[in-house]
Structures are given as C-alpha cells and as structure tokens.
Structure 1
C-alpha cells in the first residue's frame, strides 16, 4: 500500500520532468549555444536538476496564471513587521561593528563611488547577514524552474543564460552557484545579470568574488548603486510630518517638486530642523509607504537608487534608515506604524482590478500595494467623500 501511495504522489511530477528536459534540449540549449555556452558547461549546470515545484509564483502546464493568495516577499507585508526592532537592530549593530573593522575598505569604496560606507553596510547586512546567511538552493534549479514555469519566464530565462555565462567564462565554479529562492547569489545577493554588470575586483586579485571577498562584496554593492545614479553628497531622505492639507495621493517618483516647495506646503522634518540648504534647491518626493497609517518621508533620487536594488519601498526605506542608525545610533522613526487590516495578496489584487475598472492606474493588479496603488486609493477616497488613507483595507476591498 505504501508503494502504491508513493507512486500515486510522484506520478504528476514525471511528465513535468520530461517536459523540462525537452525544453532544455530543444529550447534553451540552442540559445545558450548561440550565446557562447559550451555543451559541457550546459550539461554540468543541469546534471541531476529537476523542477522545484515548491518555489512560489509558478504556473504548471495546463494551468492559467493566478495571483497567489499569500504574499511570499517580506518587503510587501505589514510595514511594522518588516521594521521589527530585532531585524533592523541586527543589521545596525552588525554594521557598526564592521564599520570599524573594515574602515579602510569602506573609505576607499566611498572615495571611488561616492556611496557612504553605512549605506553599503546596511545592504550587506540586510541581504546576507554580512555573509553569514546560507544559500539553500542550487541556482540552476531555481533559475531553470522559474525560466520554465514562472509567471515571469522571460526575466528568469535571461538570468539563467547569464548564470551559464558566468560558469562558462570561469567567473565562478559550478558548485558555488548556490542561491536564494529567487536565484540571487553571493553576499550582495546579485542576480546573474547584476553580477556580470556590477561585480568587481576590489581586493586586487583580478577576480570578482562576491562569495568570499569582503572588499569585492563592498565594492560591488557600491558599484551597483553608482551605476544606477547615486548622487554624491545628497541624503536618501528625511522623516517628515505631512499636514492633513497635503494629500497623501501626491506620493511617487513621478510627482517630485523642489524640497523647498514641499516645505512651503507645510511639510516639516520630525526633528524640527530645517531641510539642508543644498537639499532645498533640489528635487524631492513624497513617500508614505503605509499611507496615513505610518511614518511619512520626503526622499531624494538616492532613495530610488536604493529601490533599484530591490523593487520595494520598504526595502529602500529599511536601507536608508539602517544606514542612518549605523552612522548615528539606534533611533527609531518618530512616526509609528499603525494597525492595518490583514489582507491576502489576492485581496489586494481584487481591489486593484476594481480601481482599474474605474480608470485608475494602479501599476498592475499584482497584489502588491505600491505607490500607484496607494495614491489611486487616496484619489478614489477623496472623490467619494472619504478621508484619504492611501492604503488598502478590508472595507475598500468590499467597496471596490
């Protein structure tokens, strides 16, 4: 009986394994070969690899794509949980320890790229616990599965081909290709295309080693931010108080104005200090990641450079805030994260589709409450005689 049960459980996976092998041979291999990957590298990459059906955001053959019910990415869950003191405290305490230990390297990194050492340390700590995090997955299993079955096949196909090139060019050994569940590699957690574009040798051994070399890790993180436009001498942003007269729907990187103009509207820093003179003349953007249910910020273009590292407002805010704490001590936000309704990702996607039907641009009905969704909520609330909160809740899901 046990053997029959085991056979029945394993049966559905066999056809997928066969389809995967056919896809590798008939679809992926010709493109990999055209890109300069040898057959020996290709075969070694996929030796013993089968699709990992436990990974999130997969669409099995014969199924239609659906918004997942649950949210797998911490960056899009409740902000209060993301900023739990235990989590950010570990990053900031570890960052301060390493700021002294690696002072010379960090000074050289800042001199070359203009990125403050505390920012680099915050990313290093958040991404891999300063290199301590274990990578549980085989990168070719993850990237292969997602390129074959994920909702974003083309993106992962590009990453998979880049990973093959990394091995082909001798930049990393096949056995070292261990990754997160999303296919990110090494201490900076670079996807393969990011490795090829931004990883650098900063210790002088003529090899970019983001797995074992601290100088290479720190230099590569700063190089990434520099490539995405980090502006030397500018802050990432400021926590502020936003009066009720200023709509939370003014949020977003496409609705920037001079910081002096935000100040003229009544927005002021929580610490009572004026905005720095050099920032007043420059462009800033309103950021309210929990709408009226949490702290508010005026951020600079450097905030969106941090966001380029991980497409989440909360992630970029965590890095900016963590960097401040590494440099100046563990001071929490003045504003508090309010209580928000517990919603499934599919609930938020339903809300987004309701807003889209009414003509709002929510940035896509993906179940992720980004700035376009937040401000669309605020605009709809104002239009319907409600006080704008700019954040999804259970009543809004029902109403829309």
Structure 2
C-alpha cells in the first residue's frame, strides 16, 4: 500500500483539528471523559476511601472545560505555551503595580487590629508574624473579596484528564474527593481558581488535607467562609514548611558592579556578614541586624541588573513553597514590611523588561542547555537558574552581565 505523502498528512491533521472543535467532537470528548472517570479515576478514588455516592455527586453534570489553559487535546502533542498565563512569571516590575501593593498593605493594616488577638495567638504557636499572614491573605484573595468562580471538580477533572501535568492534577482531584467524602465541604460549594486552588488562602486540595487549620474552634477548617480558619491555615502551612521564628524574610540591598549577579540562588548561600564584606549594603543605610549577620543569606535579583536586589533568608524560600515564584515571595515579604512599618516602596526601580513570549524564553534556555548551562529546565520561565546562566554566558563572552533574558539574547542563543 502506498504511504500518504506530506500534503495528505497535513490535510488529515487539519481535518482532525477542525473535527475537534465541532459539536460532534465535543460530544465524543465528553464520552471519553466519562469513560475515563469510570474506568480510570473511580478505582483510584475507591481505593482512597471515596464512596460511589460522593464520586457521582462530585462529577454530576461536569464536562471538560476547554477554555482552561495548558490543555493537550487527544491527538495533540504537548508544547511550551506561547503566552504566560500566570502573572507571577511575567515581567517582574509589573507584579508590583503600586495600586495592587497599596490594596494589600492598606487592607492588611485595617485587619491587623481587627484580628489582632487571633494573629498574636498564631504567632505564638507558629512563629509566623502577622504581617506575613496578612500579606498572603491579601495577595491570594483580596482578604476574601476576590471572586473564586470555578467549580473545583470541573477544573481538576479537566486538568487530570487533559492537562500537561496530568499526574499532579490526578493527585489533586483525588484529594478533593477525599475532602468531599469527609464532609468538609459539599462538591458544588468547592470553588476554585482556574488552576484548582481553593478558598481564601488558595490551597490546592492536597495542601488543604495536610495544613488546613480550625482557627475559630468550630471543629472544621472552612477556608471559604471563615477568616480565622484562613489565617490559621496560612500560618500552619508556613510553619510546616520550615518557617524560622525570629528571622526576617530579607532586605533590599545595593550590589556593587564587581559582585556578579550570577551569584544568585538558594544553593549559593553565605553568611550575611560575608555578603556585607563583599560590599553589599542595605538600602536604608542601616546595618543588618546583628542576629541576621550570623545567619545564612542568599542573593536574589528577580530582574537581574534591571531591578532591585535583595539578600533573603531561608524564610524567603518558605514563602516560595507557598507559590513557586520569586516575585510572589518578594511581594509577600515587601507587603508584610509595609503593613507593619509603613507604606514605603522599593528604593531600586524596575526597568521595562520582559515582554518575551514564553516560547522565546524556552528557546533561549535550550540554547544555554546546549552549551552546558543548567537553566532548571526549558520551561519558558526565567527562574534563578536561567538568570544566573545568562549572567555566566554573558561573562564568558565578554558582555555586560544583566542576568535577564531579552530579545537580543534570544536571537543569539536560540
């Protein structure tokens, strides 16, 4: 039999693509989803102690939501997304829009007194200060005022069936089923973000099962409707991830030009006294606190030489455990400082950088990988390994170190 030629294959691929977006193909996808629920997900849910009644109630009327990002339809191959849907991984300076920061800091100060007794008790039991807890609450859900519109089982079910990270979302949807089975919340009341994060602290279901706390003493952890439970749950999460009581999160600093921006990262720590001896100073002009000088610190430059620089402590990386983004952790620490000490912004300014497609950053990362650099994976996200690899490559090629991707670097390295 004669093999199809290239144009025939392209025509077939186009036909399949068109079919996937027709009403009949949608019905077929729904049927595949239902078959997957019964044959694949249900046995795992049953093994986790979920009853058939709970399982059926959770997925009653649920069909795949194809408007969610990062899905891979049947017959497609996964690819690096062209655009970045999460604000935490876009241009760093945009994340610190002053109206956004002030909304969190003003709201945090208002609630610091309102929930003062609960926050004091939380600090005594967990070591996590009030400013940090309030900043996370404000950033995640606007202190409970943000709309959290999605049905968690629609989101988690769709992503476990079709997302690029199926196994992760499979674990999460099973955890959500366990939550429903235990009566912690009814399936239709379990509202989430587009990524499946739940309630006011935006916990994934696995985090809820491990860290959600009863702050108001009513016997359940209601992170949708109880402010006390929300605050206690945030602090519980941070304590479990290693929050060090008595240490700060970090300090804005000036980094002399003779100190390489490629020294950044949690695996390149030094005592803060050693960083200070290299010429790194607090922007306030005050010395680092004496107890911090003896502790380990890490250089953190989220925009490379194009923005403010910081020496951060292990607590910064506990904040990153909450949301795996440098600028998220920085936002929380900065907002916490402003809640407690007053509304003062960064001393350093953010240059207009970024604007690259995620796929362009991934191409740059692959170019650096081919030269032997460890960029932490070609995922299109400019994390610290990518930033310092850029700095190392620039130094090796006699270029000024910026430690941040730009269009000219993409052109040279892709």
Distance in 2, Cα, partners of 1:341 & 1:366: 15
1:363 paired with 2:376, answer yes
Distance in 2, Cα, partners of 1:252 & 1:60: 37
Give the alignment of 1:84-233 within 5 angstroms.
84-233=97-246
Instruction: Report the CA distance shift for 1:231/1:7 in structure 2 as closer, same or farther (over 3 A).
Output: closer
Distance in 2, Cα, partners of 1:95 & 1:10: 48
Aligned partner of 2:14 in structure 1 is none
SS at match of 1:12: helix
SS at match of 2:391: helix
CA deviation map 1:103-131 (0-9, x unaligned):
11111111111100010000000001101
Distance in 2, Cα, partners of 1:354 & 1:29: 43
**Equivalent residues of 2:153, 2:187 under 8 A apart:** no
Aligned partner of 1:395 in structure 2 is 408
How much does 1:15 deviate?
1.9
**Equivalent residues of 2:248, 2:315 under 8 A apart:** yes
Distance in 2, Cα, partners of 1:8 & 1:344: 26
**Equivalent residues of 2:90, 2:354 under 8 A apart:** no
2:346 is matched with which residue: 309, 319, 333?
Answer: 333
Aligned partner of 1:63 in structure 2 is 76
**Equivalent residues of 2:19, 2:25 under 8 A apart:** no
Distance in 1, Cα, partners of 2:82 & 2:400: 29
Distance in 2, Cα, partners of 1:187 & 1:342: 30
SS at match of 2:253: strand
Instruction: Report the CA distance shift for 1:263/1:11 in structure 2 as closer, same or farther (over 3 A).
Output: same
Distance in 2, Cα, partners of 1:175 & 1:108: 33
1:269 paired with 2:274, answer no
Distance in 1, Cα, partners of 2:164 & 2:20: 29
Aligned partner of 1:293 in structure 2 is 306
Instruction: Report the CA distance shift for 1:299/1:305 in structure 2 as closer, same or farther (over 3 A).
Output: same
2:247 is matched with which residue: 228, 234, 244?
Answer: 234
Distance in 1, Cα, partners of 2:254 & 2:353: 20
Distance in 2, Cα, partners of 1:114 & 1:351: 41
Task: Return the TM-score normalized by structure 1.
Answer: 0.97
Distance in 2, Cα, partners of 1:330 & 1:8: 50
Aligned partner of 1:384 in structure 2 is 397
**Equivalent residues of 2:137, 2:200 under 8 A apart:** yes
1:324 paired with 2:366, answer no
Task: Return the TM-score normalized by structure 2.
Answer: 0.94
**Equivalent residues of 2:262, 2:403 under 8 A apart:** yes
How much does 1:8 deviate?
7.2
How much does 1:204 deviate?
1.1
Distance in 1, Cα, partners of 2:222 & 2:138: 17
Distance in 2, Cα, partners of 1:267 & 1:301: 18
Distance in 2, Cα, partners of 1:324 & 1:180: 27
| Structure 1, 7-16 or 313-322: larger mean CA deviation | 7-16
Instruction: Report the CA distance shift for 1:275/1:8 in structure 2 as closer, same or farther (over 3 A).
Output: closer
Aligned partner of 1:315 in structure 2 is 328
SS at match of 1:286: strand
How much does 1:12 deviate?
2.7
Distance in 1, Cα, partners of 2:32 & 2:370: 38
Instruction: Report the CA distance shift for 1:318/1:391 in structure 2 as closer, same or farther (over 3 A).
Output: same
CA deviation map 1:245-288 (0-9, x unaligned):
11000000010010000001110011111111100011000000
CA deviation map 1:324-381 (0-9, x unaligned):
0000111000000012142001110110011111111101111000000000000000
Runs of 5+ consecutive residues of structure 2 not aligned to the other structure = 1-17
Runs of 5+ consecutive residues of structure 1 not aligned to the other structure = none
How much does 1:6 deviate?
13
**Equivalent residues of 2:50, 2:178 under 8 A apart:** yes
Instruction: Report the CA distance shift for 1:54/1:110 in structure 2 as closer, same or farther (over 3 A).
Output: same
Distance in 2, Cα, partners of 1:391 & 1:6: 42
